[in-house]
Amino acid sequence: MYVAFNQSPGTVYVKQDQGLLVQNGEYWTGFFPGVTEGTLYRCWIVGQGSEGYKRDPYAKELTYGTFPDYNCIVRDPSQYVWQDADYHPPAFNDLIVYQFHFGVYYAVDAQGNDIRPNRICKVLDVVDRIPYFAALGVNAIMPLPFQECQGENTLGYNGTDYFSLEMDYAVQLPDLPMYVDRVNALRTAKGKASLTAADLTRQEDLFKAFVDLCHLYGVAVIADVVFNHAGGPFDDQCMYFLDRQTVGDNNNSLYFTDQPLAGGLIFAFWKSQVCQLLIDCGKTLLQDFHIDGLRYDQVTVIAQNGGWYFAQNVTSTLRFVKPTAVQIAEYWDNDRWKGIATPPSGMGFDVGYADSLRQSIRSAVSQATGGQFAPVDMDQIHDALYVTYNADRRWGLLQQLENHDVEYVDHDDKQPRIAALSDPSNARSWYARSRSKVATGLLLTAPGIPMIFMGQEFLEDKYWSDWQGRPDLLIYWAGLDGADKNMGDQHQFTTDLMWLRRKQPALRAEGLNVFHVDNQNRVIAFQRWVPDVGRDVVVVACLNETTFYNDGYNLGFPGGGYWYEVFNSDFYDTMPNPNLQGNNGGISVGGPPMDGLPTSAAVTLPANSLIVFARDLGD
């Protein structure tokens, strides 16, 4: 084995028989004098099948160049000076998550013109959206994977270099000045010192500057990691057949099984060096990049391919490294509770993906499109609201109506975005607008951690693609900027409801009582509260196309007295709605027992609406 360092004036090959590399069990180790920050290197591997260059699987950064002939770069992780010492991520039950894809999300030039159709978006393009995230009310963003993958256009799930960040999302030196100004404007607004272009020449510092700014604006960053498989396709210099054994005998690979997945191969989880590589990747994200949590892709694949104990090891190790970092499992096996159960019966994740609420809300909305007299099953929403993987931890479910898989244009099982589902004939009709508000309203008031997919917050109705060459599928930011008032109204609806969730602790707490289901009138109501504290809220969702006027709908309440109407979705239609129907800011409750509750009141329910009543106006 050789390690080749590219140093001026030429390339130096260091051989193991020169005494600089020593084999210790399964590892080669050594000390190489003269290696410093920025030194370029690759490994020369001589194996049974072939010999040639390989990139270090632990390389922190790769050079720009012609794929796959990249050099690895030695990087000092302490070089970036962080400004987020005072930042503390939200408690897990307080999270509101926003998922997006760096490559197609947002990019404008110095004049504010949309440049996404012309090139892939960069991580520093999204810096412009950080105040947007903070104002919207999300307190955590979850970009799709940003480890190095082949090619510009990728979902991010075919990575081959797990410690190197996606260079296509990086900004090279000639283009940095414009971005430095944008970064510094946000830093200055928070009282932090400015950076220079020299401070952002390393790819990893671009990502660190982004995370740093997110923290300064109160937004956590959750990384999407792919620990079930790698590649798709592999190149000759990546960790595929790192030891250059006979190509074709996949079980000889140091890192992989012979089991294919998504164009790549599943990791060999029974090997300690494989598990250590992935655990070290997670540690690097949490420690070096100050990431606030990990979303683990397809843990089902890990569990079904010998990775059960690896999953337990990675969750326990990373929890020790950073206890405040949330660990979210996309685990779809039959016994989903095992994903977040404590070892040995479970794998030890904090949160598990859930689909019951998504399916039930989508089904009810779809049924409602059948017309005023079509049957709508509200019982399915009742049942989904009670789904939990841990009775003591209702927040342990990640709830979504849309996500990158469900809405991806090239997936065979894709489903319409909520706006399009709500009225397949016209995604901007009153039916589409009002039903979308009910659907998103249920998501943001239900138990669990809610996640919004990019554009859902303002009525985006198109599928999405990871290819910027599909301008017809890019998020329509112009609509939010004034070209489509309906989008602006929906955005304000989502913003106010997110902040209501953050102000009303009951909406993030464990108390739940779904006390009213009326399939005939398409109404469901549930109570949420903080155990041992109270501060109850009552959420009422209505998919009826007719308003119940003049206090015309009787509903149970958990207590008498005055209840504030703290949210009414009808206000946001053609905002401010000149025909607003509601309860004039609150109701006095004192009627007879109803719905298993001690008292009741007659309320006004606007057509296709979500109403929230609360004991107080919130923190």
What confidence tens digit (pLDDT) does each residue in 534-579 have?
A: 999 999 999 999 999 988 899 999 999 999 999 999 999 999 999 9
Q: Which residues contact 344 (CB under 8 A, 6 or more apart)?
A: 312
Q: Which residues contact 307 (CB under 8 A, 6 or more apart)?
A: 228, 267, 269, 301
Q: Which residues contact 517 (CB under 8 A, 6 or more apart)?
A: 378, 379, 382, 523, 524
**Does residue 323 sit within a domain?**
yes
pLDDT band at 248 (very low <50, low <70, confident <90, very high): low
Show the domain range for 578. Answer: 509-614
Taking residues 420-439, report their average pLDDT: 98
Q: Which residue has the higher pLDDT, 4 or 415?
A: 415
Taking phi first (over 0 means left), then psi (-120 to 50 degrees means alpha), and beta for anything else, what does residue 19 get? left
**Residue 153 reports pLDDT greater than 90:** no
Per the listing, tokens 């892939």 go with 120
Taking residues 496-523, report their average pLDDT: 98
Lowest mean pLDDT among 59-68, 398-407, 409-418, 461-470: 59-68
CA dihedral sign of residues 287, 292, 298, 299: positive
Residue 381: other Cβ atoms inside 10 A: 24
**Does residue 388 sit within a domain?**
no
The reported pTM is 0.95
Return d(Cα 347, Cα 286) in angstroms, integer.
20
Average pLDDT, the chain: 93
Of 353, 388, 405, the last residue of a domain is: 353
**Residue 241 reports pLDDT greater than 70:** yes
pLDDT of residue 613: 98
pLDDT of residue 26: 63
Which of 304, 363, 364, 360 is CA-nearest to residue 332? 304
pLDDT band at 9 (very low <50, low <70, confident <90, very high): very low
Of 48, 73, 98, the last residue of a domain is: 73
Specify the pairing of strand 147-149 against strand 159-165.
antiparallel
Task: State which amino acid sits at residue 225.
Answer: V
Percent of the chain with pLDDT over 70: 94
Taking residues 27-52, report their average pLDDT: 82
Q: 3-state class of 609 per DSSP?
A: strand
Q: 3-state class of 502 per DSSP?
A: helix
**Does residue 504 sit within a domain?**
no
Taking residues 100-118, report their average pLDDT: 95
Which of 458, 546, 544 is CA-nearest to residue 498? 458
pLDDT of residue 151: 79
**Residue 14 reports pLDDT greater than 50:** no
**Does residue 289 sit within a domain?**
yes
pLDDT band at 10 (very low <50, low <70, confident <90, very high): very low
For every residue of 344-374, DSSP letters joined together read: TTS---SEEE--HHHHHHHHHHHHHTT-TTS
- According to DSSP, residue 536 is labeled E
What confidence tens digit (pLDDT) does each residue in 53-86 have?
A: 899 999 999 999 877 888 999 999 999 999 999 9
Q: 164-175 burial string, b = 16+ CB within 10 Å, else e?
A: bbbbbbbbeeee
pLDDT of residue 469: 87
Write out the H or E segment, with its range, that includes residue 140: strand 140-143
**Residue 24 reports pLDDT greater than 80:** no
**Residue 451 reports pLDDT greater than 80:** yes
Q: 3-state class of 556 per DSSP?
A: strand
Return d(Cα 370, Cα 372) in angstroms, integer.
7
Q: Which residues contact 579 (CB under 8 A, 6 or more apart)?
A: none
| 371 and 353 Cβ atoms separated by less than 8 Å | no
Return d(Cα 410, Cα 333) in angstroms, integer.
24
**Residue 261 reports pLDDT greater than 60:** yes
**Residue 13 reports pLDDT greater than 90:** no
**Residue 8 reports pLDDT greater than 50:** no
pLDDT of residue 249: 56
Q: For the domain that residue 564 is a member of, what is the CATH number?
A: 2.60.40.1180
pLDDT of residue 23: 56
**Residue 141 reports pLDDT greater than 50:** yes
**Does residue 18 sit within a domain?**
yes
| 618 and 504 Cβ atoms separated by less than 8 Å | yes
Residue 502: other Cβ atoms inside 10 A: 18
| 347 and 315 Cβ atoms separated by less than 8 Å | yes
What confidence tens digit (pLDDT) does each residue in 220-237 have?
A: 999 999 999 999 889 989
Return d(Cα 158, Cα 156) in angstroms, integer.
6
pLDDT of residue 246: 64
Looking at the structure of the chain, the number of domains it has is 3
**Residue 258 reports pLDDT greater than 80:** yes
**Does residue 209 sit within a domain?**
no
* Distance, CA of 240 to chain centre: 28
**Does residue 429 sit within a domain?**
no
For every residue of 435-471, DSSP letters joined together read: HHHHHHHHHHHSSSEEEEETTGGGT--S-B-S-TT-G
For every residue of 264-284, DSSP letters joined together read: EEEE-TTSHHHHHHHHHHHHH
pLDDT of residue 5: 45
Of 73, 103, 122, the last residue of a domain is: 73
**Residue 6 reports pLDDT greater than 60:** no
Q: Which residues contact 589 (CB under 8 A, 6 or more apart)?
A: 557, 559, 560, 561, 562, 563, 599, 600, 601
Task: State which amino acid sits at residue 51.
Answer: E
Return d(Cα 70, Cα 80) in angstroms, integer.
24
Taking residues 106-120, report their average pLDDT: 94
pLDDT band at 19 (very low <50, low <70, confident <90, very high): very low
Question: Hey, what are 46's tokens?
Answer: 């001589």
pLDDT band at 119 (very low <50, low <70, confident <90, very high): very high
**Does residue 82 sit within a domain?**
no
- According to DSSP, residue 26 is labeled T
Which of 606, 600, 561 is CA-nearest to residue 583? 606
Taking residues 318-346, report their average pLDDT: 97
